[in-house]
Amino acid sequence: MIAEIIAVGSELLTPFRQDTNSLYLTEKLNSIGVEVGFKTIVGDAMKDLVRVATTALARADILIFSGGLGPTEDDLTREAVAETLGLQLRRNPELVAAIERRFAERGWKMSANNIKQADLIQGATILTNSNGTAPGQWISGRSDGREKIIVLLPGPPHELKALFEGAVLERLQAKVPRRYIATRMLRITGMGESACDARVAPIYKRYTDVSTTILAAPGEIQLHLRAQAPSSDAAQLRVDDLVDKLEAELDDAVYSDNGDSLEQIVSYYLQMRSATLAVAESCTGGLLAERLTSVSGSSRYFMGGVVAYSNDLKVKLAEVPADLLDHFGAVSEQVAKALAEGIRKRCGTTLGLGITGVAGPTGGTDEKPVGLVYHALASESGTEVIQRNFPGDRQRIRFFASQQALDMVRRKLM
């Protein structure tokens, strides 16, 4: 069965806002073996909505609408779907009571508009929305001799998700042929997309029953794997088998085989080794510390760090000897090393990271161009320094540098 996701709202046709519900819905639909064939975005106009609903009914089996269920004149999804199906809208007394109760409980005054949210398409099942006033609706029936399912969901993501998980997924599952699906995601760093694909394509192409999608994201490559089989175990076995073969080929370039972020993986390793970390950053300007502390519980291993943007602060805060700065310049292997060692000593941690480089767009020279970054990792056993020349703009260079530094910690503790 093929699904079409229809996002309703004129704001989704402006340059400022994008439909994001469809990514969530796609993931959930895929998990029960339903593929999304089309996505449509349409504004709050009756004529357009009816047009879109009619088209979707002809090309898809499952239609999922998000948005347009609110109380304003612009909220027309109910009306448009009823018109498309040739069905009546009827005010449902239970829904009226529920909406009145919701307002009364909160001590809010209910405007007349709100009652419209109690209108139910003839024959529809109510999908109770515990996070908002607009209930969802489920309609199923036959059109052109085929079974069609139409689901109306509210637009706000937290309402939509709760409703889909609570009231839609199981109902859908009962309607679609039972399929068993297993997914895995490998995350790889330190390798380009084509280099990675050249190594893994000969492997995954042999697995015709596992679909593999290779995607390039900033500073990493992702391999999304998905298998279908007659049983849950069989699907898991196939996808796990492919993962084993891919990991054997890519070895330690794979930093995660379950989708975890690099900062999360580094968090596990630091805790596993009872190690602590401090950082001294120049060109990344706090990004490295920010990524490390984005993990809940990071205070167990991340002690802190300094953002030493000026040379003066490199000396004062990270104990970089002033003559090193004079002699080799702030962007140098020597200063990276001194930052890592200085902050490790200052903070008394197991590991110290130092980063210095030229993030651009200005400040580059022939000798030290934009994108040149030195990364250093200091430990009891000495200090390792890696030099890289990253492409891209300021934002990308900073992200690549933080990724490289985190990966040094991972490889050190692996």
User: DSSP 3-state assignment of 217?
Assistant: strand
Task: Spell out a b/e string for 372-403, using b for 16 or more CB atoms within 10 Å of the CB, else e.
Answer: bbbbbbbbeeebebeeeebeeebebbbbbbbb
Positive or negative CA dihedral for 156, 157, 160, 163? negative
Look up residue 377 and give its two tokens: 């990792």
Look up residue 66 and give its two tokens: 């998000």
CA–centroid distance for 360 within its chain: 28
User: DSSP 3-state assignment of 43?
Assistant: coil
Minimum gap (Å) between residue 308 Cβ and a second copy = 5
**Which residues sit opposite 257 in a β-bridge?**
none
Is the CB of 25 or the CB of 118 nearer to a second copy?
A: 25
Residue 150 φ then ψ, to 5°: -125, 125
Instruction: Give yes or no for a contact between 373 and 390, defined as CB atoms under 8 angstroms apart.
Output: yes
Minimum gap (Å) between residue 288 Cβ and a second copy = 7
Is the CB of 240 or the CB of 319 nearer to a second copy?
A: 319
Is the CB of 348 or the CB of 369 nearer to a second copy?
A: 348
Minimum gap (Å) between residue 180 Cβ and a second copy = 18
Minimum gap (Å) between residue 46 Cβ and a second copy = 13
Is the CB of 253 or the CB of 397 nearer to a second copy?
A: 397
Task: State the Cα–Cα distance between residues 77 and 350, nearest whole angstrom.
Answer: 59
Minimum gap (Å) between residue 282 Cβ and a second copy = 8
The continuous run of DSSP H or E covering 80 comes out as helix 77-85
Is the CB of 12 or the CB of 139 nearer to a second copy?
A: 12
Is the CB of 124 or the CB of 246 nearer to a second copy?
A: 246
Minimum gap (Å) between residue 92 Cβ and a second copy = 28
